């Protein structure tokens, strides 16, 4: 029930962010994010000088992730992959008129975690986050309506839900709530790398998140997230 409530709240927040984006959206006639008409050095009625109007796009993403947890602590080492959901909205801004280089950020709801065994008993860890991606993306047009878009950067995340399930003891408790003996910190951050493919308004991407933050409460045992993700969506 808590997971459903968290997902619905995140979906409503993302929808509220996406609504003003789609209201001003324009369909791009080509792959990549170059504007359909020249916007560099265009005169306006309010100025006698030539100016640069940055190219901006908005997008919606939906997909799946296969995540795991690498930890020095055997009871937290969920090295077996766990499948989760990704959903989010993004915005990209061109950094310079001379090159198709973009800075992309946004807000995403992601489900991470892992599975493993401790003392012969299975356990699973669910870590659900609201994440802010911070990436640089290069849009290389390979056909009139298609562009390949490698990206690199990072992400910042705050835990909003999830459960730790101990199948041996038949117990389950919140991943981030200290009242239930949680072993995970809410904050996470790391490096994100991947590549996207844009065709007209359609978009697909694959990438990997390398967690750099020690998300475990024990300072002597390093515990990090790792996740492969595959998303599809649209760009406006």
Query: Given pLDDT bands bounded at 50, 70 and 90, which one contains residue 169?
Result: confident
The pTM of this model reads 0.78
How large is the average pLDDT for residues 161-171? Answer: 90
Contact 33/92 with Cβ under 8 angstroms? Answer: yes
CA 184/CA 203 separation, integer angstroms: 34
Task: Take residue 43 and report the two structure tokens written for it.
Answer: 């005169």
Residues whose CB falls within 8 Å of the CB of residue 111, separated by 6 or more in sequence, listed in order: 65, 67, 84, 85, 86, 126, 127, 128, 129, 162
Residue 4 has pLDDT above 80, yes or no: no
Q: Which residue has the tokens 């009139």?
A: 144
Q: Tell me the C-alpha distance between 176 and 163, whole Å.
A: 8
Q: Which is nearest to 4 in space by CA: 109, 124, 158, 122?
A: 109
Lowest mean pLDDT among 6-15, 39-48, 209-218: 39-48
Express as a percent the part of the chain with pLDDT over 90. Answer: 63
Which residues in the chain belong to E strands, given as ranges? 56-71, 82-96, 99-118, 121-138, 140-143, 146-161, 163-166, 171-174, 187-199, 202-211, 223-235
Q: What is the pLDDT of residue 110?
A: 98
pLDDT number for residue 53? 60
Percent of the chain with pLDDT over 70: 75
Tens digits of residue pLDDT in 46-105: 333 345 566 999 999 999 999 999 999 988 899 999 999 999 999 999 998 888 999 999
Do 109 and 133 meet the contact criterion of CB atoms below 8 Å apart? Answer: no
Q: Which tokens go with 2?
A: 């808590």
Q: Quick one: which of 127, 130, 226, 109 has its CA closest to 176?
A: 127
Q: What is the pLDDT of residues 23-40, one digit of tens each?
A: 444 434 334 444 433 333
């Amino acid at each position: 029930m808590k997971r459903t409530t968290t997902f619905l709240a995140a979906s409503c927040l993302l929808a509220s962010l996406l609504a003003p984006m789609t209201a001003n959206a324009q369909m791009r006639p080509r792959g990549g994010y170059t504007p359909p008409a020249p916007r560099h050095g265009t005169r306006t009625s309010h100025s006698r000088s030539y100016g640069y109007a940055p190219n901006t796009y908005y997008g919606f993403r939906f997909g799946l992730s296969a995540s795991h947890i690498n930890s020095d602590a055997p009871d937290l080492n969920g090295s077996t992959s766990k499948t989760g959901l990704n959903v989010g909205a993004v915005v990209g801004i061109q950094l310079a008129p001379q090159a198709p280089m973009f800075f992309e950020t946004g807000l995403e709801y992601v489900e991470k975690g892992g599975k493993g065994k401790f003392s012969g008993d299975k356990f699973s860890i669910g870590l659900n986050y609201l994440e802010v991606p911070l990436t640089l993306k290069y849009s290389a047009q390979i056909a009139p309506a298609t562009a390949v878009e490698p990206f690199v950067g990072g992400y910042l995340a705050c835990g909003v839900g999830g459960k730790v399930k101990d199948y041996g003891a038949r117990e389950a408790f919140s991943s981030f709530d200290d009242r239930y003996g949680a072993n995970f910190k809410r904050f996470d951050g790391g490096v994100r790398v991947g590549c996207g493919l844009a065709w007209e308004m359609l978009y697909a991407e694959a990438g990997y998140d390398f967690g750099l933050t020690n998300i475990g409460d024990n300072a002597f045992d390093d515990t990090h997230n790792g996740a492969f993700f595959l998303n599809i969506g649209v760009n406006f």
